[in-house]
Amino acid sequence: MSAQTRKPAILALEDGRVFRGWSFGAEGETFGEVIFNTSMTGYQEIFTDPSYRGQLVALTYPHIGNVGVNDLDFESIKPFLAGVIVREYSRIHSSWRAQKDLSAFLQEYGIPAIEGIDTRALTRHIRDRGAMTGVISTEELDPEKAVEKARQAPKLEGRDLVREVTREKAMVWHQGIHPKWLPLGLGPQVERRDPLHIIVYDFGVKYNILRSLAHRGCRLTIVPARTPAAEVLAQNPDGIFLSNGPGDPFAVKYAIETTKELLGKVPMFGICLGHQIMALALGAKTFKMKFGHHGANHPVKNLKTGYVEITAQNHGFAVDIDSLVKHDVEVTHLNLNDQTLEGFRHKTLPVFAVQYHPEASPGPHDSQYLFDEFVVMVETHRRATEQTGARA
């Protein structure tokens, strides 16, 4: 597409800041919370992560689109984000894995995108002022009118976004590590004669979380977010996983109540939104962060080992660490950038959670041990339950 045929687009923020650029996705208008992601690779995984539901994602890496898009790097069934903001879109992609270009991909799913933006200025603005609502438009190019549209758009805080991304029916996950994938450094795939049955609550689960569990010999049943605790316990699972997902955890009250009912019954592991839901179920509080954590370069300290993990993160809310430690919980991980809570473990129940994404592997394998720890916890609990049953 030549410069003469590019369609103008505008990014307007609710505080009055306006950026002009060019459209390279679907035409039209979209609203959302403007956030920035500092990852240097993995734009397709970012765009297909359901946790970005309702957000306009600005990528700080300046050159996006150079490896195209392929069918194997989806993290969910489709992209859920509201819009894309980049400095420069690469109209030529070069990768043996590519099956289409990024522009065609975004147009196929109706996702507006804008390029030519000074993403460094935008990122500094968000860091100073905080995440805010914005609009990307190819229809309304008048700055004042576009800003007013951003101000009138609905806010994400307090809105249940999980119901917009969760699956409608339960399903069994059969996919392990795809044979065409490059080696992930996970070690040999575990084959179990009697696989561990893990029920996954789908709040917007990423495929690589499922692959990581399946790789370790787990049989996965994925259930909708509103599935009652009694229905889950009736399946006699060996463990329960609370997935990542979008938005304000306090808005997902049904998940918090369900988790309260499940605590202590079966071993549980939570990631990201699952971490926050578990903390709320234990009596803690959460708060909205100024601009959140979005990227693949966040240092997290494991307080047990002293090691620092390079982690991938995507969340705009966090657990109040002072509100959590009162509830028989020990802090296991801390963010070294701002000292926010990144992980906890219950002192007596088989329950633990982390705020970051161990399956995303930016380290690249710093945090994969968490899946191993969950499997060991589940195995230990199952053996103890079997022995108790045998004695009875």
Which positions are catalytic?
Answer: 272, 357, 359
Neighbours of 169 (CB within 10 A): 7
Whether the upstream peptide bond of residue 364 has omega within 30° of 0, thus cis, is yes
Helix (H) or strand (E) holding 334: strand 329-335
Of residues 341, 343, 81, 340, the one with CA closest to residue 204 = 81
Nearby residues of 222 by Cβ (< 8 Å), 6 or more positions away: 167, 170, 171, 172, 173, 199, 200, 202, 205, 210
DSSP per residue, 218-244: EEEEEEETT--HHHHHTT--SEEEEPP
Nearby residues of 146 by Cβ (< 8 Å), 6 or more positions away: 10, 12, 18, 135, 137, 140
Tokens for 22, please give them: 């060019």
Q: What is the spatial distance between Cα 254 and Cα 307, in angstroms, rounded to a whole number?
A: 36
Nearby residues of 107 by Cβ (< 8 Å), 6 or more positions away: 25, 26
Tokens for 205, please give them: 């689960």
